[in-house]
Structure 1
């Protein structure tokens, strides 16, 4: 086996066979080159046919090995696929920089000090347009209401004089250190630090008022940092609280939901576009989630349907469906009764009322017809129809939920498969003296499997709410194609023993990975276009 690198391609010789594949220097999935197996050739024809049917003949020709290259941390990560959105992950220092940008941009317009601009923005929860509109209408009213002075003097810690008395602890004397705000209230530094510390621990440190009763003057960043200069831990917490208030109030930022993650994601997607856009973002910690609703990656199902589905799964609505489909109420006392035998003559245990299970009428009216009921009654027929409809709805729900749950469980198994695959990769490297680049295709295949399982899981949510029409048929065809291809790749990666030699394994895994990736792109692209076009109607 020999390798030859040329123009970004890697030529791999396996005895008398040779093929070209994209160089796999990156850990992300790379496209294999020209397919060589008959199995892929047939699969490719099916894929091309499906792509043409969906109005995208070139869907499989646009795969770029560099699409998933990691973006510089200082730049917005640009979207590569139609359904992807631009986003950027920020750490604490980056978020502080974003705050500074907003403050610096607004300071000349308001014509107040930098510290006062920051306080006004926090008072308005960083709603810049509302602040500017109100300030230009009546600046004095805004300043007074917010407890902010346009140009307060620079803060400083002073040494007390004979007239100084702290308004909290009533200490006095020329040796006491104190700080005063523009409002004129003065407190010793010890009391000030205790007061500010309490406010920070309560979580409301972005708007700290003067300690004096009924005084609305706000304590700015500079005096707060001066007071906490000797308490680094509390100062750090204060800075984090300022950042948290900024992220919480901004529609363009949200915290990564991963436990203990300190990154926030910036993504500019209008809330009005959430019905047609699924803004999936990836944090630097590895967490992939929806910027709109905070749920884990749920493409291709939009946020509104995801929320309805999760609520449906969590509440007792389906239990109620089961009860309605399998039980009836006693017509006299309304007690819930479940039929557990074949006889239609029912006796309520609560009130001992005798009635017919089929028509719900009194049993005394049935004469000798003990085991059948041929009496037609519009009310009873309506009740039976209600039970029948409830049973149909329950069965429909269970059809989609079972498949949704199956892919959710399969996604968990993929994590175990990843561990096993890494061991197989290490074994191949040792036994066949191969480099990492020669076996990384196995990891890439498992990564694609994980993406497919996650997407297939949410396709059943979208399908559940879709009204049945030709558009749904097309969607389900794409869904079926991806599902079958995913199962084939899963079997191939889990048990490659049927293949002979590393060349055979690599060729077939690469071919199948490329095909599955193409099917996934086809489904997601078509679904994105469908959402943009309002192609589907949804059931309540």
Structure 2
């Protein structure tokens, strides 16, 4: 809206039809238009279809905003012209006429972009690789990235952290009652909580039902072969990585 305050003549802006606004109201109206990515600033008077000419807009817009408006208008006009030599940046709204068809790179001059892209596949420049070679390289790197992530997850699955001193360690053999090598706190390898003794574990003979001892939770197994866990993780790794090949 407009404030309708009385302001000095040097603090007003006028649309092409002569409607007058203070610079503050003109600036707020322009911010709305620019927010909709419009390249012309319409008059705020109801029913008026006129716009603020650039000679007026420069009075209430900051220099960076005014220059950005001019660039956006230029880009819009270029796109509407439908020129065959017009090349658009795939990463922003910048566009420019490029006469040299032999140049396979497009150098964006957008102040917040400045990226160099391939005119054929629209990706970041990958010279001297061809588009097909670059695509294969991306696929290869993606598979390696997935494999690296899975390998890290496998390592993390075997590592345990002491609930007291936070020392990290892992086991290669023995039962699931682990002792921190730093502070000697006892913990369960399965559920990772601090424990006192073997009463935390199910020590039923093989083939016998698990001991309940009136507990609200299931007892952890006393013995789980870490090599078996590793084999299971490796199996999951191959299943997971094959999906990306």
Q: TM class, shorter-chain normalised?
A: 0.3 to 0.5
Higher relative contact order structure (alpha carbons within 8 Å, sequence separation ≥ 6)? 1
Structure with bigger helix share is 1
TM-score norm. by structure 1 comes to 0.24
Q: TM-score, normalised by structure 2?
A: 0.43
